Amino acid sequence: MFETLALPLMCAPMSFASSVPLAVACCTAGVLGGWQGGRITHLEPFARYLEALQEIGGAPPIVNLPARIATDPDGEAKLALLERAQAPLVLSSVGDPAMLVGRVHGWGGRIIQDVTTLRHAEKAIAAGVDGLMVTCAGAGGQTGFLSPFAFVPAVRRRWEGLLIVGGGIADARGIASVLALGGDIACMGTRFIATPESAVAATHREMIANASIDGIVVSAAMNGVPGNWIRESLIAVGLDPAALPDHRIEMPEGVRPWRDIYSAGHSVGLIDGVEAVRDLVARLRNEFDALVPSAGWRTRLAAIETEWR
């Protein structure tokens, strides 16, 4: 599956930003196409999305589910649909992946756990995952807090398998840094929000293109868990970014975090505009190939796939 990659890159699954057009464009362009499946509340659109993802040629899609999916009201039914679709890659987040490991392996898929601490990485390894995604400081969404310079090599000391790294990456230098630190694939979320294929409001894309790294505020006020938010979007709904407490607060009437208050990571300062996925990936590929002429990453990913068989 990895031989279809144009470069060692994944588009992150993101609530409110993932879309089938985004996943399809990424897979077609040769990037692992992340898609947020856990938050789709109705089974019918979930099934339609999976069918569309199944029909994509190119790089594989990667579906994100909460680790506790089986205990959700529609969880079993969603898992059955994933099984029917033979989803090749599942990204599990928030919680113990042990149950999902058994289910995903049952249909021959591979499971990758999203972690933000070494302890969670160790637990996921013990649970039998096939890969880890380490989310580091500067990530959009519910960010990690550890520096990639220390976190990625520390995980690599304990884990020889697939290692995806996300948080603050938006250019070829970031992708090359992931490989230098011992990772296998870089993950970009914020960068892919600023594409016409993402599902966000146009103002979210524009704010990403216009914000600088100093325009990102970390706060737990929106939903009780620390996340990175665009300062301008907080001001736009009447919140004072300098006066947010470190616990969840009542939102202004009619305001919904994620939909009306925009999340983005530190990489905003590297994003100059909205770019179609195809053009973005072609540009990143050229820049990456110039920076990292040897294709050692391909050999490494081929070896991981052989191990998985």
Ligand X SMILES: Cc1cc2nc3c(=O)[nH]c(=O)nc-3n(C[C@H](O)[C@H](O)[C@H](O)COP(=O)(O)O)c2cc1C
Residue 177 is a binding residue for ligand X (CB under 6 A): no
Site residues (CB under 6 A) for ligand X, limited to 260-299 = 263-265, 267
For residues 183 and 156, what is the distance between their CA atoms, to the nearest angstrom? Answer: 8
Q: How far is CA 197 from CA 24, 77, 201, in A?
A: 9, 28, 11
Residue 190 is a binding residue for ligand X (CB under 6 A): yes
* Binder among 33, 37, 60, 168 for ligand X (CB under 6 A): 168
Site residues (CB under 6 A) for ligand X, limited to 47-76 = 64
**Measured from the CB of residue 302, what is the shortest distance to ligand X in angstroms?**
25
* Binder among 8, 22, 24, 36 for ligand X (CB under 6 A): 36
Residues in a beta bridge with 141: 228
Task: Answer yes or no: are the C-beta atoms of 134 and 152 closer than 8 Å.
Answer: yes
Residue 139 is a binding residue for ligand X (CB under 6 A): yes
SS3 assignment, position 127? helix
**Measured from the CB of residue 17, what is the shortest distance to ligand X in angstroms?**
5
* Binder among 8, 37, 166, 257 for ligand X (CB under 6 A): 166
* Binder among 50, 175, 188, 207 for ligand X (CB under 6 A): 188
Residue span binding ligand X (CB under 6 A) among the ranges 117-125, 136-144, 215-223, 249-257: 136-144
Residues in a beta bridge with 166: 135, 187
Residue (93 or 177) nearer to ligand X, CB = 93
Q: Strand ranges (DSSP E) for the chain?
A: 9-11, 32-36, 61-66, 89-93, 110-115, 131-135, 162-166, 185-188, 216-219, 227-230
Using only the alpha carbons of the chain, give its radius of gyration. 18
Site residues (CB under 6 A) for ligand X, limited to 71-110 = 93
User: For tokens 């304990």, what's the residue?
Assistant: 158
Residue 115 is a binding residue for ligand X (CB under 6 A): no
Residues in a beta bridge with 217: 229
Residues that bind ligand X (CB under 6 A): 12-17, 36, 64, 93, 114, 135, 138-141, 166-169, 187-191, 263-265, 267
